[in-house]
Structure 1
């Protein structure tokens, strides 16, 4: 028996973080017991959500490692590659300063040659040496530009993969946290309210996830086995815009929101897009298949927003 590092409950089994050495029960670890067993030898390298966040600015994906362990391994490989490229970019600043210094030296040397012919031979050798150094620096600079482009490509690929790993996930907000709650029953109440049945066997994983807000505001993340089932569930929920807590059997007041499970990056990008749409009089900004889409009017073309560069399309 041990105490879970997150909730403090006494449990007999659960994953242990390879980085911080803390041990969690399966719900707080964000991974089901079945999927954790599937990791095999990779269980010894498992890390908790906090340690993953500390390593990369990319948001954690509670259900990524649960619903597809191979994707989590691939993401770690991409992150390792990014770290290697970043290390190669470190010399860029010093190389640029070397170029500036060398150019100044050449200018001074050429001026000296005009006034000191007796030292022309020695200066010529020095200039040739400096010219060689400049060529080497320029070659390194070109390499750095190439590495920079590769790094940006890896970052975009990582963001796409992280969001793709959440494609079967639904994020449910607004349901108060209660002791001894049954998340399957909550989903059953929601499915009946929106008239879109979800069977227990359709659910691969369901859990509350950590929130920056109060504990009572934790979202529910539900990973479904079928992506089409997930899309139907989200679409049905959006048709019922007035879905309330009272419809789920709670005495509290408030609305329940059912959406695609976006990464932290895409959530931030969505907020910026909505703010710009309001300022630029754009009529539509919405999410479909975990993609951020926008359109100025009913007759305007639709465009996708994948990065902050795409925000320039709001004009």
Structure 2
């Protein structure tokens, strides 16, 4: 039992002030018994309202002074530990600014990527359009090639009755029919005047060469003049002679007789000199150039035979290999 320091009433239980050491009953202490019990170990540091409102009254308490000094030391330690935090805060601010700039850069990059993506889409559309046009162009090129091939076939077919005689020099006031008759006698294939549709010298591919004789069998006159003007358009100085038969069989017999006879020379028809005379099919300019390329390539690739028959260019690599026809430049790859 003790007397309450405030009301002097006798009581059996109550808190004791940690500073002034006075005891109070619960009503005078200002704290309930339940709350005081919950303080546990902190009940030893409880202070009365007088000491709380007037802390100077406790300055002479050695225990309290020690506690205050300890708290100051702790605060100083915490203060020293928090000093680097200021620079850390500045670093965080700098990082935040950098992150903000980085965010702006990322947004700008994203915008640029969007523009590039749109450009790529437009470029892809243009590429698709270009591919479509290229496919159309290829089809057109194929059609033009086919048309050109057909035209070459028809032009060559128009010359199917023609014979070309090379190597006979030109003379003033010459009679081409007599020259052809002399050649005919030598090869053993007589040709009547009525078998010949037309005979003349027409332009040659090379200037300074002997103008050749072309003899046409059943050649349409308009086709002849078309061919003649075509030659004259590109070649101004030299020419070869054109002779047309009225019958293709007569023409083929004439070519065959010449080949059976073999080599012909100018001496065989009464000319001076050792020049050779050649009797061949009358090829178009395209086929003549193609035949020339085929012969050159055949020498390089050891292709044994290159010849013409019925105005067609034929080739055979060896004596036993199959015969193939050369119609266009791509066929030269077969050699």
Q: TM-score range by the shorter chain?
A: 0.5 to 0.7
Alignment partner for residue 210 of structure 1, among 188, 203, 210?
203
> What is the match of residue 297 of structure 2?
276
Give the SS at the match of 1:218.
coil
Alignment partner for residue 286 of structure 2, among 265, 272, 277?
265
User: Can you list the C-alpha shifts for 1:90-114, whole angstroms capped at 9, x where unaligned?
Assistant: xxxxxxxxxxxxxxxxxxxxxx998
Tell me the TM-score normalized by structure 2.
Answer: 0.54
User: Can you list the C-alpha shifts for 1:38-97, whole angstroms capped at 9, x where unaligned?
Assistant: xxxxxxxxxxxxxxxxxxxxxxxxxxxxxxxxxxxxxxxxxxxxxxxxxxxxxxxxxxxx
Structure 2 gaps, min length 5? 1-104, 218-245
Q: CA deviation at 1:190?
A: 1.2
**Pairing 1:59-74 to 2, within 5 Å after superposition:** none
User: For residues 142 and 153 of structure 1, what CA distance do their matches in structure 2 show?
Assistant: 16
**Pairing 1:29-108 to 2, within 5 Å after superposition:** none
Give the SS at the match of 1:299.
coil
**Pairing 1:1-315 to 2, within 5 Å after superposition:** 115-117=108-110, 129-211=122-204, 212-214=206-208, 217-224=210-217, 225-314=246-335
User: For residues 145 and 309 of structure 2, what CA distance do their matches in structure 1 show?
Assistant: 25
Check conservation: 1:294, 1:302, Cα contact below 8 A.
yes
Check conservation: 1:113, 1:123, Cα contact below 8 A.
no
Tell me the TM-score normalized by structure 1.
Answer: 0.57
Q: CA deviation at 1:246?
A: 2.5
Give the SS at the match of 1:231.
helix
User: Can you list the C-alpha shifts for 1:13-33, whole angstroms capped at 9, x where unaligned?
Assistant: xxxxxxxxxxxxxxxxxxxxx
Check conservation: 1:113, 1:119, Cα contact below 8 A.
no
User: Can you list the C-alpha shifts for 1:110-168, whole angstroms capped at 9, x where unaligned?
Assistant: xx998544578877766655554444333322211211211221222222222222111
Check conservation: 1:113, 1:120, Cα contact below 8 A.
no
> What is the match of residue 75 of structure 1?
none
Of structures 1 and 2, the larger Rg is shown by 2
Give the SS at the match of 1:311.
helix
Q: CA RMSD in A?
A: 2.7
Check conservation: 1:173, 1:220, Cα contact below 8 A.
yes
Aligned residues: 202
Q: CA deviation at 1:271?
A: 2.2
> What is the match of residue 88 of structure 1?
none
Q: Pick closer, same or farther for the CA change 1:117–1:234 going to 2, 3 Å.
A: same
Q: Pick closer, same or farther for the CA change 1:138–1:247 going to 2, 3 Å.
A: closer
Q: CA deviation at 1:179?
A: 0.5
